[in-house]
Amino acid sequence: MSVQGSLDQQWARVRGRLKDEVGETAYRSWLKPLTVGSLDGGQLRILVPTRFMRDWIRTHYADRIRALFSGENPGVQTVEIVVASAARPDAAATPANDAPVAATVAPVAPKPEPVTELVIEPTPALSAVEDRTDEMSAPLDPRFTFENFVVGKPNELAFAAARRVADAQAVPFNPLFLYGGVGLGKTHLMHAIAWAIRKKDPSRRVIYLSAEKFMYQFIRALRFKDTMAFKEQFRSVDVLMIDDVQFISGKDSTQEEFFHTFNALVDQNRQVIISADKSPSDLEGMEERLRSRLGWGLVADIHPTTYELRLGILGQKADRIGAKVPPKVLEFLAHKITSNVRELEGALNRIVAHAELVGRAITLESAQDVLHDLLRASNRRVTIEEIQKKVAEHFNIRLADMSSARRARAVARPRQVAMYLAKQLTQRSLPEIGRKFGDRDHTTVMHAVRKVDELCGTDPAFAEDVELLRRMLEG
């Protein structure tokens, strides 16, 4: 048997032991792609496909590999981890290496030394990374396709941009940044892009996940000291979509990681698609450089729905579920439920479910009846001004003191209550609320919310006051 042949056998045994020690997942991610190179003067070369892996294996597994290997073969004194492409030329010069380098390492073309750590290498041998991408990507909703998306004025730009990204051969703009309020179709469009790309070219690797999941994965990787694997997985995708990126704000290390991943992908001309509830420049708690970088590609906003769009969506949705809904009822819903598409769909579903249950046709009256609670809520839109007015009246202070600089308890406390209610009863963000209260900082609002919460817990009379105000405002 040739020297290489017996080395391969020894390596197979070492790998078996390693697999038992580290477990299936780590094994597949890190150890499976390794192959054994040459043994030369006591130095054994282990070949890896990328520099990421080299560094990772060096710090985490090299000692163990050496110990196990020298147990198999006392001739092994040291272990050197080398990237396959770099290993080839001088490895070929050593006599021990005339047997072919193990077949699992695909040829990697020699290339110039990479400049930074962030360069994504083409990694044909990294099947382990591929294995894990599915695990990474959140499942896609089969209903969220372009075909099922109703286009109208409020979303036509976002829709066109999404289509372009899905259809284009080359990356048309990077990133595509979609933003808009809740339930207006951001997630729908992202899934639609993913479906379209998968259909057109299944070999392209598309990862879709929420920013929360991204964060969770990252924190987990930190905990298991597995951040290299984490990086590698993201940096070898063709299309990366991160939904609801506002959740990353304030989480510094995740933001940092996100920023690097983002840069690496954009530099390598991979498509990145981001969604958020605000434009890049309005994302609070987001580092300035990240905010500005997010706005470099195409920023497309989805505006609140119009009556026409709502009617269109209802019609399509009713058709799709095969429900007979009189046009009058659809019009009624499109008029009354204006908040977002999710609620609109929810209302339609309720009406249809109710009609099926009681075995009667849908009428305007039955619809009104079924939805009375929903309709009441959407009839009432409290404004910050109303809140300020009511709270000022209740505590008997001047309305002007809601925005004044006075800090006496007698005015500061009511002001905090008003901020608290503004947060609870309106959709306004903390900075927006702050602005309405004499240009105060969002941290002041945050503090007010906390303070009022705290007082409600300790002072029943105060809690009652707040509750009373809330009920009055909600009408």
Footprint of ligand ADP on this chain (CB under 6 A)? 144, 148-150, 155, 180, 182-188, 313, 341-342, 345
CB nearer to ligand ADP: give 163 or 406.
163
**Least distance between ligand ADP and beta carbon 332 (Å):** 19
Mapping DSSP to helix (H, G, I), strand (E, B) and coil, where does residue 15 land? helix
The smaller minimum CB distance to ligand ADP, of residues 312 and 326, is found at 312
- Selection from Mg ion, ligand ADP, none that 345 binds (CB < 5 to 8 A by kind) is ligand ADP
Closest CA to 33 of 109, 121, 128: 128
**Residue 73 structure tokens:** 């073969």
Q: Whose CA is closest to 387, among 420, 411, 410, 409? A: 420
DSSP track, 94-152: SGGG-SPP-TTS------PPPSSTTPPPP-TT-HHHHHHHHHHSPPPPTT-SSTTPPP-
Contacts of 333 (CB under 8 A, 6+ apart): 310, 314, 344, 347, 348, 351, 367
Q: Count CB atoms within 10 A of the CB of residue 294.
A: 24
Q: How far is the CB of 178 from ligand ADP (least distance, A)?
A: 8
| Closest distance of CB 54 from ligand ADP, Å | 40
Identity of the residue, 179 or 437, whose beta carbon is nearer to Mg ion in the bound complex:
179
**Interaction partner, residue 86 (ligand ADP, Mg ion, none; CB < 5-8 Å by kind):** none
Q: How far is the CB of 406 from ligand ADP (least distance, A)?
A: 40
Distance of CA 361 to the CA centre of its chain: 42
Q: Please identify, using beta-carbon distances, which residue of 232 and 243 lies nearer to ligand ADP.
A: 243
Compare residues 127 and 210 and give the one whose CB is closer to Mg ion: 210
Q: Specify the residue, 8 or 156, whose C-beta has the smaller distance to ligand ADP.
A: 156
For ligand ADP, the closer of residues 61 and 146 by Cβ is: 146
User: Which residue, 215 or 449, is less far from Mg ion as judged by CB?
Assistant: 215
In the DSSP assignment, the letter for residue 30 is I
| Residues 33, 131 contacting (CB under 8 angstroms) | no
Cβ-count burial of 358 within 10 angstroms (0-12 exposed, 13-18 middle, 19+ buried)? Answer: exposed
Would you state the torsion angle of the CA atoms of residues 304, 308, 309, 314, taken in this order, to the nearest 10 degrees?
120
| Encoded amino acid at 340, one letter | N
Minimal CB distance residue for Mg ion: 187
Closer residue to ligand ADP (CB): 47 or 302: 302
- Strand partners of residue 81: 46
Number of chain residues interacting with Mg ion (CB under 5 A): 2
Look at residue 342 and give the partner it binds from ligand ADP, Mg ion, none, a contact being a CB closer than 5 to 8 Å depending on partner kind. ligand ADP
Please state the closest distance from residue 195 (CB atom) to Mg ion, in A. 16
Helix (H) or strand (E) holding 140: none
- Smallest distance from ligand ADP to CB 185, Å: 3
**What is the distance between the alpha carbons of residues 180 and 165, in angstroms, rounded to a whole number?**
19
Report which of 284, 248, 292 is spatially closest to residue 445, judged by C-alpha positions. 284
Number of H helices, E strands in the chain: 22, 8
233 binds, among ligand ADP, Mg ion, none (CB under 5 to 8 A by kind): none
For 218, residues 6+ apart whose C-beta sits below 8 A from its C-beta are 227, 230, 253, 254, 257
Least separation in angstroms between CB 321 and ligand ADP? 12
Report the nearest approach of ligand ADP to the CB of residue 298 (Å): 17
User: One-letter amino acid identity for 172?
Assistant: P
Q: Residue 185 or 297: which CB sits closer to ligand ADP?
A: 185
Q: 103 CB contacts (<8 Å, ≥6 apart)?
A: none
Rg (CA), the chain: 30
| 272 DSSP β-pair partners | 240
Q: Are 364 and 332 in contact (CB under 8 A)?
A: yes
Minimum CB–partner distance for residue 23 and ligand ADP (Å): 36
183: partner contacted, choices ligand ADP, Mg ion, none (Cβ within 5-8 A by kind) = ligand ADP
Place of tokens 């983002």: 262
Residue 155 in contact with Mg ion, rule: CB under 5 A: no
Nearer to ligand ADP, 248 or 452 (CB): 248
Return the one option of ligand ADP, Mg ion, none that residue 80 interacts with (CB less than 5 to 8 A, by type): none
With CB under 5 A as the contact rule, the residue among 187, 249, 255, 388 that binds Mg ion is 187
Closest CA to 34 of 97, 82, 98: 82
Please state the closest distance from residue 157 (CB atom) to ligand ADP, in A: 12
Of 43-51, 179-187, 257-265, 433-441, the window that binds Mg ion (rule: CB under 5 A) is: 179-187
From the list Mg ion, ligand ADP, none, which binds 318 (C-beta under 5 to 8 Å, kind-based)? Answer: none
- Reading the block at residue 402, the tokens are 């809601």
Residue 45 interacts with, from ligand ADP, Mg ion, none (CB under 5-8 Å by kind): none
Minimum distance from CB of 438 to Mg ion (Å)?
34
- Using CB under 5 A, list all residues that contact Mg ion: 186-187
